[in-house]
Structure 1
Amino acid sequence: MTLAQNQPDNMGWWLLSLAWSIALVSTLSALFIGEILGQMPCVLCWYQRICMFPLALILGIAALRSDMSIVWYTLPLALIGTLIAAYHSLTYAGYILTPIVPCGQGTSCTGSNMTILGGISLPYLSLAAFTAVSLILCTLIRKSDA
């Protein structure tokens, strides 16, 4: 089966729905932190949102339509988001010294109130979400080539 045939099997639909769920939870979490908690995101967080928000919409529509060909359009967004989140995480951890200070204005990702589950920071959560979505989309591509 190829992606062009657009006829997913049941496992493909579940994987696409899982990728959408991760993107949706990430998007709703970012909106909750920004709009409900009133904490302003840093520049790097904004760039990650630019990649994640469309993923939630596009993957949701694709899951409803069982459209497996969407991976070719969403994978670049997920990979770009992964790169930005990796850079943000490395900067946050202090491995990359840069004049661009993550979370320099407003609320900082380094604050104790910006962690969950016993100290997992938002940059690491973002990296995990983008990586998971990217891996799922790559799995869908590999599955369609088999």
Structure 2
Amino acid sequence: METAKRSQYFLYVAWIVSLAAMLGSLYFSEIKGFIPCDLCWFQRIFMYPLTLILGVATFQHDIGLKKIILPMSVIGGIISLMHYLEQKVEGFGGIKPCVSGVPCNVQYINWFGFITIPFLALTAFTLITVFTLLAVRKKSA
């Protein structure tokens, strides 16, 4: 019983992280007026459904959705890492350069010299991955 409660807690925290990430991205684009670049859109494509899927997994006590959650959070994290490297590493062009709208190396925010929007997304994807893995981890005897 304790393992089930622990798994439920970790799923709940992962859902809260995804919800905060989704609301944060909407705040930056809809309230602050930051126009998302191509890589930002790809990160949103992976984050927004995670909010719904993690919500269902949390409230239906369905850890089986890990087969969907983990690949989405890992792929989204890889995209966020590529985007962050494109912003912070001189000469890193990424696999596909942004071609429409805002260039992907634009930094709307740069808190403390290293926290950018892709860094925030990478942190969220990493936390979701870690908490999902903790939720599915078997109790060691």
Over the matched positions of the two proteins, sequence identity in percent amounts to 33
RMSD: 2.6
SS of 1:114 mapped into structure 2: coil
Question: 4+ runs of 1 displaced by more than 6 Å?
Answer: none
Say whether the 8 Å CA contact 1:20–1:59 is kept in structure 2: yes
**Structure 1 equivalent of residue 51 of structure 2:** 56
Q: Which runs of 5+ in 1 are unaligned?
A: 2-7
State the distance in 2 between where 1:11 and 1:89 align.
33
**Structure 1 equivalent of residue 23 of structure 2:** 28
Q: Give the Å deviation of 1:108.
A: 6.4
**Structure 1 equivalent of residue 70 of structure 2:** 75
Q: Give the Å deviation of 1:46.
A: 0.5
Say whether the 8 Å CA contact 2:84–2:119 is kept in structure 1: yes
**Structure 2 equivalent of residue 142 of structure 1:** 137
Corresponding residue to 2:33 among 34, 38, 48: 38
1:49 partner letter: R
TM-score, length basis structure 1: 0.81
CA distance 1:124–1:102, change in 2 (3 Å): farther
Say whether the 8 Å CA contact 1:71–1:140 is kept in structure 2: no
Say whether the 8 Å CA contact 2:21–2:124 is kept in structure 1: yes
TM-score, length basis structure 2: 0.83
